[in-house]
Amino acid sequence: MKKLLGFILTIGLGLLIIFALEGNALFDDFGYANLDDRVSSHYITKGSDVDIIFGETVDPESGPANIVTSIVVDYRSFDTLGEVTVLFISALGVSLLLGSAVTQKRLSLDFKPNFMLRVASRALFGIIIMTGVYVTLHGHLTPGGGFPGGTMIASAMLLLYLADDQFRAKIKGFKILEGVAGSLYVVIGLLGLVVGTYFLQNFLPNGTVGDLLSSGIIPIIYILIGLKVGSEISGVIDNFLTEEEKQ
């Protein structure tokens, strides 16, 4: 009874919001977003009056052929620094909450990993790592980037965890990688302040739109993010797959 009341209440609230949006003349209808009224039109044309052509335009305001990447790591790079910080602090928090016990051991799995699983997971490990690296490196050209790329690298580690119930990644190295990659992101930002005038300014040449070696600092930042995310999420997985050793 209580549940039914809650259901009717929340769905009613939803319908109310829907009607409010429907009656809102300024709110663009679904499928008919007017980009000319939005700041996005600037991101698509990269602030230039001439059309940007893939493989031809040299040194536009922002380099990546993937417009979403040019927003994420160039126009709104500060948000991404915050995003990296969120992941950093929650990984830190997870290790604080779960990893505080002095002696820790691997959580044993209910099944014994058999020969096939072991071999197959080794083979897959390389393929997943390669995909992760590819996605990270091509973040400014194709969909993807440091966040999914880094998570793919971490999921390759996850595969090793599942295939071998004694396996534990060496946390020390990950910690250093995490700290150094994060610091380098901020240092690159401060370098922009020193070399140019602005924090996180893209101080390297943008190159030709669509080239692998283009868009200045963006691929570098995405590689740092990939390394950082990969090591952080591996750390989180390790924390979730260990338990306090009980005598």
What is the spatial distance between Cα 101 and Cα 168, in angstroms, rounded to a whole number? 16
* Residue the block writes with tokens 């922002």: 62
The minimum distance between CB 61 and other proteins, in angstroms, equals 8
From 65, 213, 71, 209, select the one nearest 142 (Cα to Cα): 65
Query: Which residues between 79 and 108 bind other proteins (CB under 8 A)?
Result: 79-83, 85-94, 96-98, 107-108
CA distances from 133 to 83, 89, 151, 217, 222 (A): 20, 24, 10, 17, 11
Contact call for residues 92 and 233 (beta carbons, < 8 A): no
The minimum distance between CB 165 and other proteins, in angstroms, equals 12
The minimum distance between CB 115 and other proteins, in angstroms, equals 23
The minimum distance between CB 13 and other proteins, in angstroms, equals 6
The token pair that represents 152 in the structure block: 């793919």
Segment interacting with other proteins (CB under 8 A) among 25-33, 113-121, 163-171: 25-33
Q: State the binding string over 138-177 for other proteins (x if CB under 8 A, else -).
A: ---xxxxx-xx--xx-xx--x----------------xx-
Does the protein bind other proteins through residue 31 (CB under 8 A)?
Answer: yes
Query: Which residues between 179 and 238 bind other proteins (CB under 8 A)?
Result: 179-180, 182-183, 185-187, 189-190, 192-194, 196-202, 209-210, 233, 236-237
* Residue the block writes with tokens 């380098």: 184
Number of Cβ atoms within 10 Å of the Cβ of 220? 15
| Smaller CB separation from other proteins, 24 or 114 | 24
Does the protein bind other proteins through residue 118 (CB under 8 A)?
Answer: no
Does the protein bind other proteins through residue 117 (CB under 8 A)?
Answer: no
Q: State the binding string over 35-74 for other proteins (x if CB under 8 A, else -).
A: x-xxxx-xxxxxx---xxxxx---------xxxxx-xx-x
Query: Which residues between 122 and 141 bind other proteins (CB under 8 A)?
Result: 135, 141
The minimum distance between CB 237 and other proteins, in angstroms, equals 7
What is the spatial distance between Cα 69 and Cα 211, in angstroms, rounded to a whole number? 14
Number of Cβ atoms within 10 Å of the Cβ of 145? 28
Three-class SS state of 244: strand
The token pair that represents 9 in the structure block: 């209440």
| Smaller CB separation from other proteins, 115 or 232 | 232
What is the spatial distance between Cα 149 and Cα 222, in angstroms, rounded to a whole number? 9
Does the protein bind other proteins through residue 245 (CB under 8 A)?
Answer: no
